Amino acid sequence: MLKRILTGVVAFCFILVPVLLLADTVALPIGVAVFAVIATYEILHCVGLHKNLWLSAPMYLMSAAIPFGLRYMASVAMALLPAVICLPLLVSLAAAVFSHGKADIRDVSSVFVLWLYTIIGFTSLLMIHDLVAGGRYFYLLAFIGAWVTDIFAYFTGVLLGKHKLIPDVSPKKTVEGAVGGIVFCAAAFVGFGLLYNHLWLAEGGTPLPLWLMGVVGLLVSLVSQIGDLSLSLLKRKYGIKDFGKVFPGHGGVMDRFDSVLAVSIMLLVCFATFSTLGL
């Protein structure tokens, strides 16, 4: 536990905070690209295909390039994104076809789906920040939602947990913990809405409906826990404890950001929907 806390403090203070404070600069796409490349390696390593350069090299290249394209050539990048995403898919299929049985088509397909999910998750943070009105604050909700849910689900489960949630996927998680994570995440989103309305509205933003923030917080917490459980299921399938060792006591990038990826996608969908509906 002490190692987890120390690693979390160090990573937060010396990695995450500088990137967040410099989000309007090149620091954000660099940070997104670095984490995306590391996550791509962890996915490939999990499935046992990290040594297949025909498969891995295009994924590393796309993982590094897409965040910069979305920041500095947004219109071009959005137009080319389907083609850019399809390139690693074609390479993945080719790697399976010409591997002479060394790359199983099911593993190759799993890698591509996970890579696509990871890239969409990380770049959703960048898109919320750059493309959504008020996004320079709203993208922080991805971290708030994921980590408030994680922290309070843990402590609620320790204090009140009696009923196992899905023991064959994650033996320690409880129904009470899951509910606690949802309640505190919804409360955190309402608190964020209050803070935004009182402190940042002077910049010309639209007031956030607090009831809507509570609903979004509830949905975000559910998605956060699904993101966590789904990757736990994947690790069980491939017989690994952690995806990597980047963060001692926490595991790899995929272990630390599994919920953040799911939440960032959910938030981007929410903001796009609110914009369309005029909320």
Task: Between 15 and 162, name the one with better pLDDT.
Answer: 162
Per-residue pLDDT averaged across 229-235, rounded?
89
Position 249 scores a pLDDT of: 62
pTM of the full structure: 0.87
Beta strands per DSSP E along the chain: 164-166, 170-174
Please say if the pLDDT value at position 50 is more than 80. Answer: yes
Please say if the pLDDT value at position 199 is more than 80. Answer: no
Per-residue pLDDT averaged across 65-81, rounded?
78
**pLDDT tens-digit profile of 99-118?**
666 777 788 888 888 999 99
Per-residue pLDDT averaged across 14-26, rounded?
70
- The answer for residues whose C-beta is within 8 angstroms of residue 190's C-beta and 6 or more apart is 210, 213, 214, 217
Please say if the pLDDT value at position 221 is more than 90. Answer: yes
Percent of the chain's residues with pLDDT above 90: 34
Please say if the pLDDT value at position 184 is more than 70. Answer: yes
Task: Between 18 and 242, name the one with better pLDDT.
Answer: 242
Q: How many Cβ atoms are within 10 Å of 175's Cβ, its own excluded?
A: 15
CA distances from 44 to 55, 223, 268 (A): 9, 24, 26
Q: How many Cβ atoms are within 10 Å of 70's Cβ, its own excluded?
A: 21
Q: Dihedral sign for Cα 229, 235, 236, 240, please.
A: negative
Distance of CA 126 to the CA centre of its chain: 11
Q: How confident is the model at residue 262 (pLDDT cuts 50, 70, 90)?
A: very high
SS3 74: helix
Position 205 scores a pLDDT of: 61
Q: How confident is the model at residue 79 (pLDDT cuts 50, 70, 90)?
A: low
**Mean pLDDT score of the chain, rounded to an integer?**
83
Please say if the pLDDT value at position 17 is more than 70. Answer: no
Q: How confident is the model at residue 133 (pLDDT cuts 50, 70, 90)?
A: confident
Position 200 scores a pLDDT of: 64
Position 107 scores a pLDDT of: 82
First CA to last CA across the chain, in angstroms? Answer: 42
